[in-house]
Amino acid sequence: MNVIEINNLTKYYGRNKGIEDVTLSVREGEIFGFIGPNGAGKSTTIRLLLSLIYPTSGSATIFGRDCIRFGHEIRNDIGYLPSEVFYYDKMKVKDLLKYSASFFKGDHSARMKELADIMELDLNRRIDELSYGNKKKVGIVQGLLHEPRLIMLDEPTSGLDPLMQNKFFNLILEENKKGATVFFSSHILAEVQKMCNRVAIIRDGHIVKTEDIATLRKDTYKKVYVRTDKKAGDPSKYPGVSNVEIVDGEIRFLYKGDINQLLALVTKNAVLDLNIVEPDLEEVFMHYYQ
């Protein structure tokens, strides 16, 4: 079953394009990465799903129900963590979390305590006394305390130190194991690489590609580092070669295609050093941007 289904969703802000014709679906139980540079339309898509903003055209469903008409019911099962968190400054953390919990059915105080312990969050502080990172923790607890079936994260790790990021990712993975679907938007590829099963790449308001993270990395590109004895020519004239850089006599490029052809190409000259590695997503990703 698809938890999120987006059909030709388009949003214009006046004349400015937010997103255009975005179509994608997120399956139940997966961690779905949504990557793209700043301003590509990630937040716009998420805000549309939460009906904070309304589409110019197209539609989206969550749990099989229209996300505008049934928005308030759907949101019972959504935990949302925005990239920048803002809460009522004069409230205590505890009161804010209770206020948040009061919108959801059931009693969530035990889970609230548990999450606050894990994230090392002091419940008795006032919101306006908190550092940015601590506010972020409030956001995490607030987003997870009602045990949502769908977790939407919009660039969630900014402001968290690496230790907390780790705890946070573990929390998310745990929720995922318990059955929660995760929709994870980010421009930090390492995170996505670590967490996600599938990714959609968005650029300039359009979905460029949706793929399994494994396929995206394996099938597509190799990163090649070669050092030869002679001054080598530019290899970019050969098929499958792209992103050529020459640094201190070392030639670096991305290669897509038959590995044998690559080897034949490389060994035209005497090779001093050769490295063929999996490119990180960033490089794969840069390719989609060109």
Note the residues at the interface with another protein (CB under 8 A): 13, 43, 47, 50-54, 71-76, 78, 80, 82, 84-89, 99-100, 102-104, 142
Give least dist CB 84 to another protein, A.
Answer: 5
Minimum CB distance to another protein smaller for 54 or for 163: 54
Minimum CB distance to another protein smaller for 51 or for 193: 51
Minimum CB distance to another protein smaller for 15 or for 177: 15
Cα-Cα-Cα-Cα dihedral sign, residues 82, 87, 92, 95 = negative
Minimum CB distance to another protein smaller for 70 or for 288: 70
DSSP 235: G
Minimum CB distance to another protein smaller for 74 or for 265: 74
Minimum CB distance to another protein smaller for 112 or for 281: 112
Give least dist CB 180 to another protein, A.
Answer: 16
The beta-carbon contacts of 68-76 under 8 Å, at least 24 apart in sequence, are 75/50, 76/104, 76/105, 76/146
Minimum CB distance to another protein smaller for 105 or for 177: 105
> Helix, strand, or coil here: 59?
strand
Give least dist CB 139 to another protein, A.
Answer: 9
Q: Please, are residues 107 and 92 in contact by the beta-carbon 8 Å criterion? A: no
User: In whole angstroms, what is the distance from residue 217 CA to residue 60 CA?
Assistant: 29
Q: How many CA atoms lie within 13 A of 58 on its CB side?
A: 20
Torsion of CA 247, 251, 254, 258, to 10 degrees: -170
User: In whole angstroms, what is the distance from residue 50 CA to residue 36 CA?
Assistant: 20
Give least dist CB 145 to another protein, A.
Answer: 12
Cα separations (Å) of 248 from 223, 238, 252?
17, 22, 10
Give least dist CB 17 to another protein, A.
Answer: 15
The residues, ordered by sequence, that sit 6+ positions from 164 with a Cβ below 8 Å of its Cβ are 119, 133, 137
Cα separations (Å) of 149 from 62, 63, 117, 192?
11, 9, 22, 20
Give least dist CB 77 to another protein, A.
Answer: 8
Minimum CB distance to another protein smaller for 7 or for 76: 76
Give least dist CB 148 to another protein, A.
Answer: 10
> Helix, strand, or coil here: 281?
helix
Give least dist CB 86 to another protein, A.
Answer: 3
